[in-house]
Amino acid sequence: MTRSVTPRRRHLFGMAAVLAVGLTAGALPGVPGSADASENPRPVRETSSEGLREVFFVGNNWEGTADVIDSRGDYARIGRIDMIPDKKERLWEIYLNPVKLAFFLGIRLGPGEGHDQYVDDMYTTKDGKSVVASRPSFADVVSIDVESGKINWRFPVSGFRSDHMAVSPDGTQVAVSASTSNTVHVLDMATGKEAGRFKAGDKPHENVYTDGGEYLWNMAIGEVNTDLDAPWQDFTKGDRRITVADAKTFEVKKIIDMRERLDAFGREDLSDALRPVAFTPDESKMYFQVSFFNGFVEYDVHTDKITRVKTLPKNPDTSDDRTTFVNDSRHHGMSMSPRGDKLCIAGTMDDYVTVVNRETLQEGPLVTVSKPYWATVSGDGKHCVVSESGADQVTAIDFATGEKVASIPVGDHPQRVRLGHVPANWTGPTG
């Protein structure tokens, strides 16, 4: 297996942040993110699921588009949506504000690997009429009408970067991580109005609803955009923790420090910066990836203990120099089969995907892919679907055999892949 990774300039993101702090010299005036920060909210009417087509939305992060492909079968491309129709307006706002500009450039030179980050996460409304997306470089969340391509509403998050999202089981709310303000905002999917928020650890990242939507889990990854990656420099990475909040009152119910659990298990060598996670269908166990590690960890939710750690093979062509890992992530992306018997693991820096038997933790074939960044499950539950950000395509892996079944070209640097719906006869915006 071979790999090709864009040279990183992560330390410049930290420099930009320092510059921004110097420019502010105290509290920042006019920082958006309050409950009335949505711009021109236009309610989106929810209807039944009849007349809808299940699809995948593939966010092309550097391009600012979302490809819509079939969620099963041949994964044929159906259409494409421009996720940044207001690009000129947003750039004018940024260029006229030196603090916003510093962070905008920091995102480009840090997590963006030299590119602007226009599409991170996406979910559709239940009626399939709109797609809601987080846009890191614009520090906002927008709802876009899939028929016209126009923006329904926009919510600027607190701070200067938006990140991973999660939609509530009933489809009425969406949670988004505001990574520079250590805040999770929960928004109404129809109007963009803020329903509530809570504080998380440093650089909140993944969000997951559990217990039928009763709780919202947030995983904070800490600082990942510096070259202070040696184990003895771990103290520079910030407060990394899981924050569990009540999904209705937004009161924090529990803080889980994986550092304590990892140490108790005898793995003081592993980072406690949680990356993607996957729960078993009964939510009794959670599997998660951590920074710098080629493998994953099993955590028993009820006993509050780590029970197993799985180390996966290294690609011999991948350097062990931690400063070469993109945003500290050696492996980033995992999903679980609907029956809960298989895990699909994206070996981001090792350029492979593998399906792991959850009972034995034995991995299957190492399927060569290019910089896989995310893993999810096909609409029929048969395949693991991963985004190949290094090859600009989406690839499906059979859960039963662990073998590749299809690859579909998409746009520039695909990252998040989410199931959603569009009208049955939809082929793209007409506006």
DSSP 38-58: -BS--------STTEEEEEEE
Mean pLDDT across 225-230? 84
The closest of 159, 168, 169, 236 to 200, measured between CA atoms, is 159
Beta strand 334-336 pairing with 305-311: unpaired
pLDDT at 24 > cutoff 90: no
Q: How would DSSP label each residue in 237-271?
A: G----EEEEETTT--EEEEE-HHHHHHHTT-TTS-
pLDDT digits (tens, 9 = 90+) for 303-353: 999 999 999 999 999 999 999 898 888 999 999 999 999 999 999 999 999
Structure confidence at residue 37 (pLDDT):
38
pLDDT digits (tens, 9 = 90+) for 401-422: 999 999 999 999 999 999 999 9
* 242 within 8 A of 290, measured Cβ to Cβ: no
Q: Categorize the per-residue pLDDT at 226 as very low, low, confident or very high, splitting at 50, 70 and 90.
A: confident
The closest of 69, 182, 197, 75 to 122, measured between CA atoms, is 69
Mean pLDDT across 390-394? 97
pLDDT at 295 > cutoff 90: yes
pLDDT at 110 > cutoff 50: yes
Q: Measured on CA atoms in the order 273, 277, 280, 282, is the torsion positive or negative? A: positive
Structure confidence at residue 46 (pLDDT):
36
pLDDT at 65 > cutoff 80: yes
* 30 within 8 A of 119, measured Cβ to Cβ: no
Mean pLDDT across 150-160? 97
Structure confidence at residue 111 (pLDDT):
87
pTM of the model: 0.88
Name the residue with higher pLDDT: 427 or 7: 427
Opening angle at CA 56, ends 353 and 335, nearest 5: 35
Q: Categorize the per-residue pLDDT at 49 as very low, low, confident or very high, splitting at 50, 70 and 90.
A: low
Percent of the chain surpassing pLDDT 90: 82
Q: Categorize the per-residue pLDDT at 182 as very low, low, confident or very high, splitting at 50, 70 and 90.
A: very high
Mean pLDDT across 114-126? 96
Rounded CA-CA distance 428/431 in Å is 9
pLDDT at 17 > cutoff 70: no
Q: Categorize the per-residue pLDDT at 225 as very low, low, confident or very high, splitting at 50, 70 and 90.
A: confident
Structure confidence at residue 328 (pLDDT):
86
Which of 72-76, 176-180, 224-228 bottoms out in mean pLDDT, i.e. has the lowest? 224-228
Beta strand 140-145 pairing with 130-135: antiparallel
Structure confidence at residue 431 (pLDDT):
67
Q: What is the DSSP letter of 363?
A: B
What is the distance in angstroms between the CA of the first residue and the CA of the last residue of the chain? 43
Percent of the chain surpassing pLDDT 70: 88
pLDDT at 149 > cutoff 60: yes
pLDDT at 5 > cutoff 60: no
Structure confidence at residue 204 (pLDDT):
96
Mean pLDDT across 144-167? 97
Mean pLDDT across 219-226? 90
The closest of 207, 213, 104, 86 to 151, measured between CA atoms, is 86
Structure confidence at residue 102 (pLDDT):
95
Mean pLDDT across 89-94? 97
Q: Categorize the per-residue pLDDT at 69 as very low, low, confident or very high, splitting at 50, 70 and 90.
A: very high
Structure confidence at residue 44 (pLDDT):
36
- Helix/strand/coil for 224: coil
List the domains of the chain with CATH numbers: 57-86+117-423 (2.130.10.10)
pLDDT at 10 > cutoff 80: no
Structure confidence at residue 243 (pLDDT):
98
Which of 38-42, 155-159, 195-199, 375-379 bottoms out in mean pLDDT, i.e. has the lowest? 38-42
Name the residue with higher pLDDT: 232 or 8: 232
